[in-house]
């Protein structure tokens, strides 16, 4: 695997692959890679011939009180994992390379509708930062296909809408969430949890599964169900940011008639913010 740090060198390497007739796959990341990221690369390899990954901790998508400074930067270990996974090219730019005019002067991409509510409500500007950097990365790499994790369900919806609205000729693939054996969704932020918190964190996915089962059995009193589940999480010492049930495709609030549903959850475990979600269909 080759690592490049500038847009110039990235473009040269991608152009060479294209001249050789290769289909370009892309996996954007913020580094500190785990098995979930490796699964993204595996999927990209199935759908392309030449996989490009990026590692960039994007300051534009972090709020002023968020974890930008302490976000783990583990380039050497990440390079090894990407290489072993069969990634051909890593783009690891500096902030100056990505935002040469400074962030305040950066043209922004704002995606209406799906960016609002959920994480968009508690992290103002977050999805604008994500859409802007992903759009820039797409223009730099010009991939045929890009793979994103379904763990960031709202982010995936934002990117799909941006790609549609801006007519970007890129196929977007959603990769199912990779979980630890105890059910916890893999995330770089799990590394912030202490032993006790890590031991209790699988309760999030268990709760989502129980809720989904209850709804599949025919319960439709969503406000009552969600309120009860939130109390349970709070009783377990968690601070609930949101727990909601939405329509899978639009992310609009689910009505009793909707059958393609997604439960979305964000909590604080101490100072660590964890998200998870569960999509399911309800026949009854
Ligand atoms: O999901 C992430 O890691 C980031 O939000 C992304 C898509 C790489 C943009 O910075």
Q: What residues act catalytically?
A: 37
Task: Cite the annotated binding site for ATP by residue number.
Answer: 30-37, 149-152, 178, 186-189
What is 2-175's CATH number?
3.40.50.620
The matching CATH number, chosen from 3.30.1300.10, 3.90.600.10, 3.30.360.10, 3.40.109.10, for 188-277 is 3.30.1300.10
Region 93-98: mean pLDDT is 98
Tokens of 110: 């704002």
Which residue's structure tokens are 């639009």?
A: 250
Give the residue from 197, 199, 188, 180 showing the smallest Cα distance to 77.
188
User: Candidates 26, 103, 138, 155: which one to mutate for ligand 1, based on the most atoms within 8 Å of Cβ?
Assistant: 155
pLDDT in tens, 230-259: 999 999 999 999 999 999 999 999 999 999
Amino acid 143: pLDDT: 99
User: Candidates 56, 133, 139, 173: which one to mutate for ligand 1, based on the most atoms within 8 Å of Cβ?
Assistant: 133
Do the domains at 2-175 and 188-277 have one common CATH topology?
no
Region 51-76: mean pLDDT is 98
Amino acid 68: pLDDT: 97
Amino acid 284: pLDDT: 73
pLDDT in tens, 8-40: 999 999 999 999 999 999 999 999 999 999 999
Report the b/e string of 60-92 with b at 16+ CB within 10 A.
Answer: bbbeeeebeeebeeeeeebbebbeebebbbbbb
Give the position, in ligand 1's atom list, of the atom nearest the Cα of 29.
8
Amino acid 33: pLDDT: 98
Task: Cite the annotated binding site for (R)-pantoate by residue number.
Answer: 61, 155
CB atoms within 10 A of CB 43: 21
pLDDT in tens, 170-227: 999 999 999 999 999 999 999 999 999 999 999 999 999 999 999 999 999 999 999 9
Domains of the chain: which residue ranges? Answer: 2-175, 188-277
Torsion of CA 268, 271, 275, 276, to 10 degrees: -70
The percent of residues above 90 in pLDDT, for the chain, comes to 99
């Amino acid at each position: 695997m080759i690592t490049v740090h500038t847009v110039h060198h990235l473009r040269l390497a991608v152009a060479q692959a294209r001249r050789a007739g290769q289909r370009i796959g892309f996996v954007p990341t913020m580094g500190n890679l785990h098995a979930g990221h490796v699964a993204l690369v595996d999927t990209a390899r199935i759908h392309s011939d030449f996989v490009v990954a990026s590692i960039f901790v994007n300051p534009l998508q972090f709020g002023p009180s968020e974890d930008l400074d302490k976000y783990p930067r583990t380039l050497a270990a990440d390079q090894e994992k990407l290489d072993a996974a069969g990634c051909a090219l890593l783009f690891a730019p500096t902030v100056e390379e990505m935002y040469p005019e400074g962030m305040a002067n950066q043209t922004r991409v704002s995606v209406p509708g799906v960016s609002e509510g959920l994480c968009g409500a508690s992290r103002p500007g977050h999805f604008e930062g994500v859409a802007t950097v992903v759009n820039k990365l797409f223009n730099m790499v010009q991939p045929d296909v890009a793979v994103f994790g379904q763990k960031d369900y709202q982010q995936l919806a934002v990117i799909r809408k941006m790609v549609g609205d801006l007519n970007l000729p890129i196929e977007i693939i959603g990769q199912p969430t990779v979980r630890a054996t105890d059910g916890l969704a893999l995330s770089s932020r799990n590394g912030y949890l202490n032993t006790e918190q890590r031991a209790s964190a699988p309760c999030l996915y268990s709760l989502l599964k129980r809720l989904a089962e209850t709804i599949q059995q025919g319960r439709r009193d969503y406000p009552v169900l969600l309120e009860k589940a939130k109390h349970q999480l709070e009783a377990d010492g968690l601070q609930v940011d949101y727990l909601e049930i939405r329509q899978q495709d639009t992310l609009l609030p689910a009505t009793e008639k909707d059958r393609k549903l997604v439960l979305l959850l964000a909590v604080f475990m101490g100072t660590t913010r964890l998200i998870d979600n569960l999509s399911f269909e309800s026949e009854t």
